[in-house]
Amino acid sequence: MPEADTSDRKKEYHLEKPQQSSAFFLKGSNSHDWGFQNRLARVFNPLSGKTVMLAFDHGYFQGPTTGLERIDVTILPLAQYADALMLTRGVLRSLIPPALTNSIVMRATGGPSILKELSNERLAVSVEDAVRMNVAAMAVQVYIGGEYETQTVHNMTSLVDEANRYGIPVLGVTAVGKELTRDARYIGLATRICAELGAAFVKTYFVPEFETVTAACPVPIVIAGGKKLPELDALQMAYDAIDQGASGVDMGRNIFQSDDPIAMIKSVREVVHNGMKPQEAYELYNTLKNETA
Ligand code: R5P
């Protein structure tokens, strides 16, 4: 029998201090379970509330596109500067060392290549396999206004149903067909549909009047980088997006196709996490670039 504790240990119960319950730091994400929120906190930095995701999943329909011919050579050195890696399961298992501790956002749809109608996608990864790969989130392309709109929305809602059972957040990715106008009205429609139908966060393109898009979307939005821009323009876009309510970037080509990808991702981080102004971030980019030249 253990001896009775006779000392006055009441002070160690801190009776004067009520237990705190704090709200989760991401908008629209307070009602999820612990595992779900913990995964979101692995994608979004809890200190800044923002994320720099590095997207290099393009090969799932584009093959070895510029900058992604050798992911082991060009992308792995960037991983340490990214909060999350957005990639396919094939690349994860074949090229990403399991000792890497970045969170993983798994591309979960696929089907058509660039040679076919892109919106004809299906789910391409099971939640069981995603759990096996310890992913932080799963990403589904949704083509609002596309030929296979309903099918892609159904891809997302089916995945949300299944992923919710395991506490895995789903990222809705708004893909814009060539025939559609990328403006706040369209992007607002697409992002809101993703959120209404259960996406935990949404990825979309930055457009003028973006603050109306973020205001009307009840969950966090991250922006895609899109086609390669001059570095200052890409930094300006990241700054404007964050300034207008985005919770981060999911950037690919504007980082890995940059003249100096490491300098670029470090500069993007300053903009996203620390609010550095675009011109200052561009000067940082040039300084870092010259250091490695
Ligand atoms: C598109 O192929 C993928 O969904 C990319 O993850 C997405 O477009 C972001 O990459 P980027 O910044 O190159 O547009």
Ligand 1 site, residue 251, Cβ cutoff 6 A: yes
Ligand 1 atom nearest to 86, measured from its CA? 6
From ligand 1's centre to the CA of 82, what distance in Å?
Answer: 15
End-to-end CA separation in angstroms for the chain:
71
Average pLDDT, the chain: 95
Ligand 1 site, residue 67, Cβ cutoff 6 A: no
Ligand 1 site, residue 28, Cβ cutoff 6 A: no
From ligand 1's centre to the CA of 218, what distance in Å?
Answer: 23
| Residue reference for tokens 């992002």 | 191
Provide the token pair at 161: 């149903």
pLDDT surpasses 80 at 103: yes
pLDDT surpasses 70 at 6: no
Ligand 1 atom nearest to 62, measured from its CA? 2
Q: How far apart are CA 219 and CA 211, in angstroms?
A: 13
Q: How far apart are CA 200 and CA 170, in angstroms?
A: 5
pLDDT of residue 157: 98
pLDDT surpasses 70 at 7: no
pLDDT of residue 140: 98
Q: How far apart are CA 59 and CA 61, in angstroms?
A: 5
From ligand 1's centre to the CA of 19, what distance in Å?
Answer: 43
Ligand 1 site, residue 225, Cβ cutoff 6 A: yes
Q: Which of 17, 116, 203, 277 is catalytic?
A: 203
Q: Cα-flanking dihedrals φ and ψ of residue 183, to 5°?
A: -135, 175
Radius of gyration of the chain, Cα coordinates, nearest whole angstrom: 21
From ligand 1's centre to the CA of 171, what distance in Å?
Answer: 13
pLDDT surpasses 90 at 3: no
Ligand 1 site, residue 55, Cβ cutoff 6 A: yes
Quickly state the pLDDT bin for 111 (edges 50, 70, 90): confident
Q: How far apart are CA 200 and CA 39, in angstroms?
A: 11
Quickly state the pLDDT bin for 293 (edges 50, 70, 90): confident
Ligand 1 site, residue 59, Cβ cutoff 6 A: no
pLDDT of residue 169: 98
- Span 138-158, pLDDT tens digits: 999 999 999 999 999 999 999
From ligand 1's centre to the CA of 181, what distance in Å?
Answer: 18
Kindly report the protein residue whose alpha carbon is nearest to atom 10 of ligand 1.
252
Mark whether 203 is an active-site residue: yes
Ligand 1 atom nearest to 139, measured from its CA? 4
Ligand 1 site, residue 121, Cβ cutoff 6 A: no
pLDDT surpasses 70 at 205: yes
Q: Measuring CA to CA, how many Å separate 44 from each of 74, 83, 173, 271, 273? A: 24, 7, 17, 15, 10
From ligand 1's centre to the CA of 55, what distance in Å?
Answer: 6
Ligand 1 atom nearest to 249, measured from its CA? 12
Ligand 1 atom nearest to 61, measured from its CA? 2
CB atoms within 10 A of CB 284: 18
Provide the token pair at 96: 């990403």
Instruction: List all residues 6 or more positions away from 175 whose beta carbon is below 8 Å from its beta carbon.
Output: 118, 119, 141, 142, 143, 146, 152
